[in-house]
């Protein structure tokens, strides 16, 4: 299974693509797509959509894992991130890709084994799981973590579907 992980953001959209299953995953690609704050909003959103669509066409993922957003105290940030999430949802809908959202604690639990892990522990597990020395962007690392989380959840999803 090929999974596209997305760490949504307007200025920094993390993208990570992995292939495999719960036991063994292979890194295919990761990137952080940046937009300039000086760009008008329509240009920023179009750029995110264009880059995401391009990568979907190249890698042909079967599923998308996106970070669930919990930005309750910063309304302006939540609004901007929400627009980026909308662009991601649009691009995925256009390609008929199912989207599953995961919260930070779910990702930490899946990769480290407990929901109170710190970012460094999660990044270590992402690199170790995929055989990477460096990832570069925290946003791309988070996107890869989301994709790995989705793979880890697949056996449970299949078992539930069989009942």
Q: Which positions are annotated as active-site residues?
A: 7, 67, 139
CB 146 within 8 A of CB 6: yes
Q: What DSSP line would sit under 59-82, residue for residue? A: H--SEEEEEPP---S-HHHHHHHH
What is the β-pairing status of strands 12-20 and 99-102?
A: unpaired
Residue 130: HSE in the Cβ half-sphere, 13 Å Cα cutoff? 29
The radius of gyration computed from the CA coordinates of the chain, to the nearest angstrom, equals 15
Continuous H helices in 12-115: 41-59, 75-94, 104-112
Residue 1: HSE in the Cβ half-sphere, 13 Å Cα cutoff? 22
β-partners of residue 101 are 66
């Amino acid at each position: 299974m090929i999974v596209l992980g997305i760490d949504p953001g307007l200025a920094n959209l993390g993208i990570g693509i992995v292939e495999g299953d719960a036991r063994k995953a292979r890194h295919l690609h990761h990137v952080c797509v940046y937009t300039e704050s000086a760009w008008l909003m329509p240009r920023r959103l179009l750029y995110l959509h264009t880059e995401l669509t391009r990568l979907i066409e190249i890698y042909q993922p079967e599923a998308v894992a996106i970070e669930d957003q919990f930005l309750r105290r910063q309304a302006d940030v939540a609004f901007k991130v929400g627009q980026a999430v909308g662009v991601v949802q649009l691009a995925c809908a256009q390609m008929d890709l199912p989207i599953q959202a995961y919260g930070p604690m779910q990702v930490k639990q899946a990769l480290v084994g407990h929901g109170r892990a710190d970012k460094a522990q999660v990044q270590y597990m992402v690199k170790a799981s995929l055989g990477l020395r460096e990832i570069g962007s925290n946003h791309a690392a988070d996107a890869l973590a989301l994709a790995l989380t989705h793979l880890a959840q697949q056996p449970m999803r299949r078992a539930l579907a069989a009942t």
